[in-house]
Amino acid sequence: MSFKANVVKRKEGVYIMSLVGSLDGNAYGECDKQVDSLVLKPAKVLIFDMKELDYIASIGFAVFIKARRVIEEGGGVVALVNLKPSIRKIFDTVKIMPDRLFAGIEEVDEYIKKTFS
pLDDT in tens, 16-44: 999 999 999 999 999 999 998 888 788 89
Q: Is 96 exposed, middle or buried (0-12, 13-18, 19+ CB in 10 A)?
A: middle
- In 3D space, the residue among 11, 80, 22, 5 whose CA is nearest the CA of residue 56 turns out to be 22
Alpha-carbon distance of 108 to 48, in angstroms, equals: 11
Q: Average model confidence (pLDDT) for the chain?
A: 91
- DSSP class per residue in 32-56: HHHHHHHHTTT-SEEEEEEEEEEEE
Determine the pLDDT at residue 42.
Answer: 82
pTM surpassing 0.75?
yes
Domain ranges of the chain: 3-116
- Local confidence band at 1 (pLDDT 50, 70, 90 cut-offs): low
Q: What architecture does CATH give domain 3-116?
A: 2-Layer Sandwich (3.30)
Question: What three-state secondary structure class fits 24?
Answer: coil
Using one digit for the tens of pLDDT, what is the confidence trace for 60-82? 999 999 999 999 998 999 999 99
Determine the pLDDT at residue 69.
Answer: 92
